[in-house]
């Protein structure tokens, strides 16, 4: 859609302070949010989407920007709306756009700025990891992680191995991230094993895993697992960092290493 120079000039000359009407602004904002958030969320729920994701989708769709302002300028140019309503529409577009991201994070229970270092524990750090195969590695790391998380170790081992059967967790470049969401866990826990010999986690590149991160997250937390897996993947895509990680002598050195890379 093209907007005329006249419409643009009219919009630029509007006095936002003089035509600001708090009652009208709030009315437009409430009506807009109820219509968009409510409608999208309801449709998502009817399609079978879980409640929290449905609300997040609604707030994601609620963001308004350039198109609403352009339509407001055209309506103002042709006398369909007055300056008071135009100001309310512009403010509504700005507010809904700014609210979209934070509200989606809140609905999904995701916290900004999660860091891998926050969820590591010295009791769940193995250097070296004495394991000859995937099952031995998972059992050793899962038992340590379950102790830190105060959950049943057998349930953790079963959940991680079941997840491994569904899809291998070797992400390539010598890194594997076996993981599971576990009932009873109240906070994420990351157990780490360093294997010089390497353990086969069926990575697509065929390379054995030398850095194994076993991740446990609460069953009700739908966002943390993806956040941590993404952070590990991005962090250890660096060849030099992987080599440095295998050379550390202690948990303290490993923690310092990842914090120096901005992970903590």
φ, ψ at 259 (rounded to 5°):
-70, -35
Is the pLDDT assigned to residue 111 strictly greater than 60? Answer: no
**Is the sign of the CA dihedral 108, 167, 135, 241 positive or negative?**
negative
- Known catalytic residues are 179
Binning pLDDT at 50, 70 and 90, where does residue 114 land? low
What residues contact residue 74 under an 8 Å CB cut-off, 6+ apart? 3, 7
Please report the pLDDT score of residue 7 as a whole number: 46
Total-model pTM: 0.60
Ramachandran area for residue 177 (φ above 0: left; ψ -120 to 50: alpha; else beta): beta
- The CA radius of gyration of the chain, in Å to the nearest whole number, is 26
* Percent of the chain scoring above 70 in pLDDT: 89
Alpha-carbon distance 25 to 28, whole Å?
5
Of 9-18, 202-211, 247-256, the poorest mean pLDDT is in 9-18
Alpha-carbon distance 49 to 42, whole Å?
10
CA atoms lying within 13 Å on the CB side of residue 18: 5
Residue with tokens 């609905």: 107
- Domains of the chain, with CATH numbers? 5-108 (no CATH), 116-260 (3.40.930.10)
Q: For residue 8, what are the β-bridge partners?
A: none
Alpha-carbon distance 237 to 245, whole Å?
12
Angle, alpha carbons 74-59-54 (nearest 5°): 135
Please report the pLDDT score of residue 159 as a whole number: 93
Angle, alpha carbons 39-43-45 (nearest 5°): 120
- What would the mean pLDDT of 40-60 be, rounded to a whole number? 83
pLDDT digits (tens, 9 = 90+) for 130-153: 999 999 999 999 999 999 999 999
| Listed residue (172, 178, 21) closest to 89, CA to CA | 21
Spacing of C-alpha 175 from chain mean position? 21
What residues contact residue 161 under an 8 Å CB cut-off, 6+ apart? 135, 138
């Amino acid at each position: 859609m093209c907007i005329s120079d006249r419409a643009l000039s009219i919009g630029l000359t509007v006095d936002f302070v003089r035509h600001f009407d708090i009652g009208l602004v709030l009315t437009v904002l409430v009506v807009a949010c109820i219509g968009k958030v409510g409608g999208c969320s309801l449709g998502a729920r009817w399609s079978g989407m879980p409640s929290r994701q449905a609300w997040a989708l609604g707030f994601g769709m609620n963001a308004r920007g350039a198109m609403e302002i352009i339509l407001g300028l055209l309506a103002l140019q042709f006398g369909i709306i007055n300056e008071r309503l135009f100001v309310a529409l512009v403010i509504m577009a700005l507010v809904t756009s700014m609210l979209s991201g934070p509200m989606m994070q809140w609905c999904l229970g995701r916290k900004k700025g999660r860091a891998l270092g926050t969820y590591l524990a010295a009791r769940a750090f193995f250097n070296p990891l004495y394991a000859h195969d995937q099952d031995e590695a998972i059992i050793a790391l899962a038992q340590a992680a379950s102790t830190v998380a105060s959950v049943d170790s057998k349930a953790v081992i079963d959940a991680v191995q079941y997840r491994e059967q569904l899809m291998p967790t070797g992400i390539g470049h010598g890194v594997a991230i076996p993981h599971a969401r576990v009932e009873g866990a109240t906070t994420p826990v990351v157990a780490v094993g360093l294997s010089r010999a390497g353990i086969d986690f069926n990575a697509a590149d065929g390379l054995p895993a030398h850095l194994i991160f076993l991740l446990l997250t609460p069953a009700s937390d739908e966002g943390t697992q993806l956040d941590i897996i993404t952070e590990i993947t991005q962090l250890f895509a660096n060849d030099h960092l992987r080599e440095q990680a295998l050379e550390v002598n202690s948990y303290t050195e490993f923690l310092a290493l990842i914090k120096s890379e901005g992970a903590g």
